[in-house]
Amino acid sequence: MKKTIIDNLNIMRSLLILMSMITLAPAGGISVDAGLTPAQNRWMVRYQVRHIKRSHENMNPESVMQTDMHMLNLAYGLRADLTIMIMQSWMDRESDMMNMQSEFSGMGDLNLMAKYRLYRHNSSTNTLGLATTLCLTAPTGEDPFTSDYWSLAPGFYLSYRLNNWALDASTNYRFQDLLDEKPDGFRSGYEFSLSSALARQLVLGTDGRTALAPVLELTGSVSRNDQMPGQAEQNNEVLMLLSPGLKWTYSSLILEFLVQIPILQDLPEGSMEHSPRGLVGMRYMF
Amino acid sequence: MHKSLNMTLLLTIIFFYLSGCSHSSGTVIPEEWSGQGNIHIYKVYGMDCPGCHGGVEKQLVDLDGVQAAHADWSRKQVAILLLTDREVAEDEIRAAIERANFTPGERIQ
């Protein structure tokens, strides 16, 4: 197991170097929320379904937890350089733990986001841009899908376009338990993520209204749950996903499909392993 | 885990294979505009997919005196159909393109 993790780390390192050599930015992303701010007064509606499966394969009987996450996102270009967004999720979870089946459905937490364009340069062959974001998560979800605390996640997006190639990168850090009073000895959890997406637009037809883009994403996160006083020390969870996908665009409509393959997972003891995930989405801009 | 890695490698190769070349030909002026004379065409930089069209077209159509606009990201151009006997200041057109987060280039028609 340890050797597999080291092998995977070497592969990841090579891929990261390769991707950083190709470019620095995102904007062709599917799970990577890439790209800069849209036009002033423009709306975007985005709906995504993610299928997430985690399991204890080595346990007998096997324990499995499957979650379908439905996400609805509404964004508006308040100004050319400022976008506001609201995101609400709805979850449907089935679990089978040691032959005990259970099902839960309910709303997730509400996310309010703002994206501000810091820099954008367009030329005849390439576009380079940088934006900063702030995401506030309110604990409005239902049990067991709420985090039970307010959190704030500042982040950055870097976007680079070279001819029909798109490269995007994003990073953010989530501060948890912003407003709650914490007992002595409490250690707040956190989440740090770094993502990149490489895409290539292929023009379909002659009117320029349709395009197909193969997308390859690499995402990684390091997170740790809150640790209550007296609780055993929590280890970090490290997860890296390599995700090939396709994005089909017709005018203002985008359909997207992605498979997220875990290539590295270093989990706290007793945690369920991540299986490959599926993502299907639709975006409409008006 | 190795199976996943092999599948990932295969999909990566397919990704780069699919990433062949793309092309554009013809004109940015839509067929339905034929016979109408008051058309301007500008170069526009920064559009990277068909989803960008709506943003710049919306900003241009909102200008007083513009009847319709048609963008083409692959040609990096936008065609603007003005109302008969109307003119729109070039500064206004350029500002509208910038509100869509793109950079106006030279006027080519």
Residues A203, B74: C-beta atoms closer than 8 Å: yes
**Residue B103 contacts residue B45 (beta carbons within 8 Å):** yes
In terms of pLDDT, which residue wins out, A58 or B87?
Answer: B87
Residues B1, A201: C-beta atoms closer than 8 Å: no
Name every residue whose Cβ is closer than 8 Å to that of residue A48 and which is 6 or more positions away in sequence: A69, A70, A71, A73, A256, A279, A280, A281, A282
> What is the pLDDT, as a whole number, of residue A207?
78
The count of residues in chain B is 109
Q: What is the CATH T-level fold of the domain B37-109, as seen in this structure?
A: Alpha-Beta Plaits (3.30.70)
Confidence tier at B7 by pLDDT (50, 70, 90): low
Q: What is the reported pTM?
A: 0.80
> Where along chain A do its domains lie?
2-285
pLDDT by residue (tens digit) across A199-254? 998 988 877 889 999 999 999 999 988 777 777 777 789 999 999 999 999 989 99
Say if A37 is an interface residue toward chain B (CB within 8 Å): yes
**Residue A127 contacts residue A160 (beta carbons within 8 Å):** yes
**Residue A280 contacts residue A70 (beta carbons within 8 Å):** no
* Terminal alpha carbon distance of chain A: 50
Average pLDDT over chain B, rounded to whole? 82
**Looking at residues A33-56, what average pLDDT do you find?**
86
Say if B94 is an interface residue toward chain A (CB within 8 Å): no
Q: How many CB atoms lie within 10 A of CB A263?
A: 21
> Where along chain B do its domains lie?
37-109
In the structure encoding, which two tokens stand for residue A45, read together?
A: 């509606």
ipTM of the complex: 0.74
> What is the pLDDT, as a whole number, of residue A28?
57
**CATH number, span A2-285:** 2.40.128.130
pLDDT by residue (tens digit) across B11-64? 666 655 555 444 455 678 888 888 787 899 999 999 988 888 999 999 999 999
d(CA B67, CA B59): 12
**Residue A148 contacts residue A142 (beta carbons within 8 Å):** no
Secondary structure in 3-state letters for A203-259? EECCCCCEEEEEEEEEEEEEEECCECCCCCCCCCEEEEEEEEEEEEEECCEEEEEEE
